[in-house]
Chains A and B, each alone.
Chain A
Amino acid sequence: MQRREARLAWAMLAPTFLIVLAIVLFPLVANFWISVKPVGLADLRPPAILVNERLRGRPKEPGDQATIEYRLRNSSQDEEIRSAQLAATLPPGFTPAGAPESCSLNSGEIACKFGTIPPRWRENVRLEGTVDAEFLKLDDPLDAYPAETSGEADNILTSFEFTLENFRRVFSGAEFWSVLRVTIYYTVFGTGGALVLGLFAAQLMNESFKGRGFLRGLFLFPYVAPVIAVAFTWVVLFDPFSGMLNALLTRMGVVGEPINFFGARSIPITLFGLTFEFPLALSTVIAFEAWRYFPLSFLFILARMQSLSSDLYEAAEMDGATPLQQFWYISLPQLVGILSILFLLRFIWTFNKFDDIFLLTGGAAGTRTLTVDVYEQGFALSNLGAGAAVAVVVFVLLVTFATLFIRFSPKEEGL
């Protein structure tokens, strides 16, 4: 009975396992594989023999000479193709004079074998012959009978050719360390900002007043709206030339020149006589992150606060504890659990975040994080292997963070 139940359970879980295995776990492993292979975006199309057919000589009368030419080439710049073959049906009414080299003719068909062909190989196969009336009637005799080619080539993805070049490239680039630093800033401040804003918003909403339901709904907007919509709205809002915010600031005389919030790597700020470079674009992106994700922490913290019993507060009130003391000594200690869980989750999700920065700045102006770097290396520079190598770095760091968190986080209620 028990065994039957277990078997049933596994059967019911099997579809989930399969799809997670195929779409999540397999790619995780495959990513390691790709990271040690010299793969470019172009290599995804396997090497093939491309063929182009032409009719030479202009036959007008039956019995005229004509040449069918097959121009062949290896599509790959660096891969050979084994057992390369060409096969084509000859158009009706074409009588070949003889078989070209390495080809054979057989009842209206031509078949050629080229053996192993090197990279960048080119060859023209010319088939001479005469035509008759039937051939001349056809509008485009060669189009109706396309030639086919075949061959075997190593697929770079499945071959056993490995390289450490990708990792060497990733780590030796001077940019890597700045990318790593930007990622840490973005993750820490984005997470912290979202948590602080969420905690603040939850404090505001933790009492009943008119319009509370409306405000709560409004506060969740940034989180539920599509990232593409809110990101572009921010870009439009902060635009230095046609953006509302800059127009407001300049016309009200707050700043002299429009500020390019998403385009300026840094602006000098003078404070107490000291001038330092303020990383503007990165800060704006972090502000976006905090703005977009504070609703999540807000919801969780509010839910937790509403489940706290009011006894403690009443007792504290009796004892004359001030509001700030109540918050500091009663509320906050009871929120530590949910705050640390939220910090963990948001830290990891912010670290993983790609869409936001990609849409806001495309990784320009000192905002390139590791995840954007994956895209940059893999797709913008068409080097899948290097992209995968950065993705490996992302994954390794992620596992490290997660282990550290699980090790040192307080054991509180689960999610």
Chain B
Amino acid sequence: MSIRTGYAAAILIGALWGALFIVVTGVLFTLVTGTVSAPPAGAAALAGIVGALVLVTAKAENRTRTRKLIAGLAVLLTLGLFTFMSPFGLPLDRNPLWQLFALVLFVASVAFASERCLADIPRGPINRYQSELVFIRATKGIGFAVFTIIVALPFYVMVMTSLKSQQALLANPLDLSIDLSQGVDSLFRSYVELFTQFNFGRYLLVSAIVSVGTVLITLSFSVPGAYAVSRLRFKGRDFLARSVLLIYMVPAIVLVIPLYAVFSQLGLRNSLTGLLIVYPATTIPVALYMLQGYFRGLPAELEEAGLMDGLTRLGVILKITLPLSLPALASVSLYVFMIAWNEFLFAYMFLDDPAIFTLSRGIVSLNSSEVPRQHLMAGAVVATVPVLVIFLWFERFLVQGLTAGSVKG
């Protein structure tokens, strides 16, 4: 008898999901309630195996909703039995509601994931194709779980930490629940203090001015440049279009010492003018590259017709090219805005005067032992929210822009 059977696959799959999801739901439970759980991975793996076996014994067409429900119940019963009715290593009367919720989540996840992995897999012998299918499904399942956790967890921690008090953080770092009973004022205390005592209103304004200024300057430089590269014929055009991107390979850290020296002597260093010179210089090349790609895609006939009708070049650009390329202008603007908003190195090196700190520079000054951690995280949230809102709002635009023009990291 071959070992490669649906039963064997079900055992592996059930054990995998049982162990994985008990840890995930257990940790989630701990993070939400602050109560430390001790997820019993072994018992959960066993429970998962029982559930998966219940599923796989049925023929593919018999795996109805009822069958899945039975599998779920089997998982629940096995887990309860083998952990002596404490599925998260806790007595059931501690946070019973949340425990129940975590338990339902666990059972549902195990049943769902096992069912998806074993779909169309018979209980008897399976061929190589089918076993690889199970393997790939399982890998993808792990991938989804792991990626979602590693991406979402830091952001979750960032937001939750900013809403806690110093005592609560030190008492139990695991407790990332929100205590709603304390009232809105005390919940958002770190934010209120940032804006009243730490001058964050001003930093926000400065960051907005610098970023919008960078966008305007970048566009006013790169639009004519991109038009020239994409529409006008001259010697060295192709070379230019390519070499523009080389600028992007130049490390900022190599530029920082000379610029620091020169800007100090010119009195530009500790000033927003200095930033408004440096930021566009780093964004213009990529903006030019992205725009010229888009301009090339526009039909040249329209512009030629405009020229025939007596428009000047400037008229053509203003009345024909730009209105047609609004989507590209939007994505370049957003992209440049995000670069300028997120920029750290030059803001950190150049700005000494707290009156003209950008957000990035302001947050660095929060990173000291005298400032509580929740303020630092509140600052991080304040800096992140505008970018994420813009990003989510215009995601389609931005993703196109990112993949079309390639991006600086």
**Extra contacts besides A300-B403, A352-B251, A415-B245 (9): CB < 8 Å:** A13-B240, A19-B281, A27-B255, A44-B261, A229-B379, A229-B380, A236-B373, A237-B153, A348-B249
With A and B bound together, what is the CA distance between A33 and B254 in angstroms? 12
Q: Once the chains are docked, how many angstroms separate the CA of A247 from the CA of B36? A: 10
**Would B148 and A237 count as touching, CB distance under 8 A?**
no
- Residue numbers in B under 8 Å from A375 (CB-CB): 253, 256
Asked if B341 is at the interface (CB within 8 A of a chain A CB), the reply is: yes
A202 to chain B, nearest CB (A): 11
Can you show 24 pairs from A to B with CB atoms below 8 A apart?
Answer: A6-B233, A6-B234, A6-B235, A8-B313, A9-B232, A9-B237, A12-B225, A24-B250, A27-B258, A27-B259, A203-B143, A218-B148, A226-B359, A228-B360, A229-B384, A232-B380, A233-B155, A236-B377, A252-B38, A253-B38, A320-B129, A346-B409, A384-B260, A388-B258
CA distance A9 to B235 in the complex (A): 10
**Residue A146 at the chain B interface, CB threshold 8 Å:** no
A244 touching B157, Cβ below 8 Å: yes
Cβ of B397 < 8 Å from any Cβ of A?
A: no
State which of A16, A233, A252, A395 has its C-beta within 8 Å of the C-beta of B158.
Answer: A233
**CB-CB nearest 3 A-B residue pairs:** A23-B281, A352-B251, A229-B380
Q: Which residue of A lies closest to B235 (CB)?
A: A6
**Chain B residues, CB < 8 A from A415:** 245, 405-406
- Chain B, range 395-409, C-beta contacts under 8 Å to A: 395, 398-399, 402-403, 405-409
B31: chain A residues at CB < 8 Å are 244
* Contact yes or no, B364 A34, CB < 8 A: no
Contact A24 B255 (CB under 8 A): yes
Q: How many Å lie between the Cα of A98 and that of B232 in the bound state?
A: 75
Residue from B247, B379, B403 within 8 A of A20 (CB atoms): B247
Nearest Cβ on chain A to B342's Cβ, whole angstroms = 4
A415 to B260, CA, bound (A): 33
Contact of A26 among B234, B258, B285, B345 (CB under 8 A): B258
Is the CB–CB distance between B383 and A233 below 8 Å? Answer: no
Asked if A23 and B391 make an inter-chain contact with CB atoms under 8 angstroms apart, the answer reads: no
Q: Is the CB of B407 within 8 A of A9?
A: no
> With the chains together, A252 CA to B27 CA distance in Å?
9
Q: How distant is B229 from chain A, measured CB to nearest CB, in Å?
A: 7
Question: Is A308 among interface residues, defined by CB-CB distance under 8 A?
Answer: no
Q: Are A324 and B132 in contact (CB under 8 A)?
A: yes
A230 to B161, CA, bound (A): 13
Q: Does A31 reach chain B (CB closer than 8 Å)? A: yes
Within the assembled complex, what's the spacing in Å between the Cα atoms of A203 and B147? 12
Q: Mark A328-356, 1 if CB is under 8 A from B, else 0.
A: 00000000000000000110111111110
List chain B residues, Cβ under 8 A from A119.
none
Taking the closest CB of chain A, its distance from the CB of B271, in whole angstroms, is 15
Instruction: Spell out B's residues near A (CB within 8 Å).
Output: 27, 30-31, 36-39, 128-129, 132-133, 135-136, 140, 143-144, 147-148, 150-155, 157-158, 161, 169-170, 172-174, 176, 220-222, 224-225, 227-229, 232-235, 237, 240, 245, 247, 249-262, 264-265, 277-278, 280-282, 284-285, 288, 313, 338, 341-342, 344-345, 349, 359-360, 363-364, 367, 373, 376-377, 379-381, 383-384, 387-388, 391-392, 395, 398-399, 402-403, 405-409
Asked whether B234 lies within 8 Å of A5 as measured between CB atoms, the reply is yes
Q: Which residues of B contact A24 (CB under 8 A)?
A: 247, 250, 255, 281-282
Using known A-B contacts A204-B143, A229-B384, determine if residue A16 contacts B403 with beta carbons closer than 8 Å: no
- A374 CA / B147 CA spacing, docked (Å): 34
A216 to B380, CA, bound (A): 22
Interface string of A129-149 (1 = CB under 8 A from B): 000000000000000000000
Question: Are A2 and B233 neighbours in the complex by a CB distance under 8 Å?
Answer: yes
0/1 string, A147-179, CB within 8 A of B gives 1 = 000000001010000000000000000000000
Provide the residues of chain B in CB contact with A239, threshold 8 Å: 173, 373
Among the stretches A53-61, A101-109, A265-273, A291-299, the one at the interface with B is: A291-299
Q: What residues of B have a CB within 8 angstroms of the CB of A22 in the complex?
A: 277, 281
Task: List chain A positions with a Cβ less than 8 A from chain B.
Answer: 2, 5-6, 8-10, 12-13, 15-16, 19-20, 22-24, 26-28, 30-31, 33-34, 39, 44-46, 155, 157, 200-201, 203-204, 215, 217-222, 224-230, 232-234, 236-237, 239, 242-244, 246-248, 251-253, 291, 293, 296, 299-300, 303, 320, 322-324, 345-346, 348-355, 359, 371, 374-375, 378-379, 384, 387-388, 391, 394-395, 398, 402, 415
CB distance from A240 to the nearest CB of B (A): 10
Nearest CB in chain A: distance from B108 CB, A: 15
Q: Do residues B406 and A387 form an inter-chain contact, with CB atoms below 8 A?
A: no
Partner of B254, one of A15, A291, A391: A391
- Chain A residues closer than 8 Å to B373, beta-carbon distance: 236, 239, 242
Inside 8 A of A303's CB, which chain B residues have their CB?
Answer: 403
A157–B262 alpha-carbon span in the complex (Å): 9
B257 close to A31 (CB less than 8 A): yes
Asked if A242 contacts B233 (CB within 8 A), the reply is no
| Contact partners of B383 in chain A: CB under 8 A | 226, 228-229
Residues on B with C-beta less than 8 A from A5 are 232-234
Instruction: Report A-chain residues with C-beta under 8 Å of the C-beta of B128.
Output: 322
Docked-complex contact A323 and B360, CB < 8 angstroms:
no
Q: Are B360 and A324 in contact (CB under 8 A)?
A: no
Chain B residues with Cβ below 8 Å from A378 are: 256-257
B257 partner, pick from A219, A229, A387, beta carbons under 8 A? A387
CB nearest neighbor in B for A325: B132
Within the complex, the shortest CB–CB distance from A137 to chain B, in Å, comes to: 38
Closest to B133 in A: A323
- Complex CA gap A45/B265 in Å reads 7
A204 to B142, CA, bound (A): 10
Q: Is the CB of B257 within 8 A of A226?
A: no
Contact A374 B253 (CB under 8 A): yes
Q: Which of A16, A46, A227, A359 contacts B284 (CB 8 A)?
A: A16
Given contacts A217-B395, A229-B363, A348-B249, contact A34 B258 (CB under 8 A): yes
Contact of A27 among B153, B254, B264, B342 (CB under 8 A): B254
Known: A236-B373, A247-B172. A19 touches B409 (CB 8 A): no
| CB pair A233 B170 closer than 8 Å | no
Known contacts: A27-B259, A218-B148. The answer to whether A251 contacts B174 by CB under 8 A is yes
Contact B360 A395 (CB under 8 A): no
The chain A residue sitting closest to B36, CB to CB, is: A251
A228 touches B364 (CB 8 A): yes
A20 touches B281 (CB 8 A): yes
CB contacts (< 8 Å) of A352 on chain B: these are 249, 251-253
Q: Assuming the A-B contacts A225-B388, A229-B383, A233-B155, are A323 and B249 also in contact, with contact meaning beta carbons closer than 8 angstroms in the complex? A: no
The answer for the CA separation of A299 and B405 in the assembled complex, in Å, is 12
A402 / chain B contacts, CB cutoff of 8 Å:
249
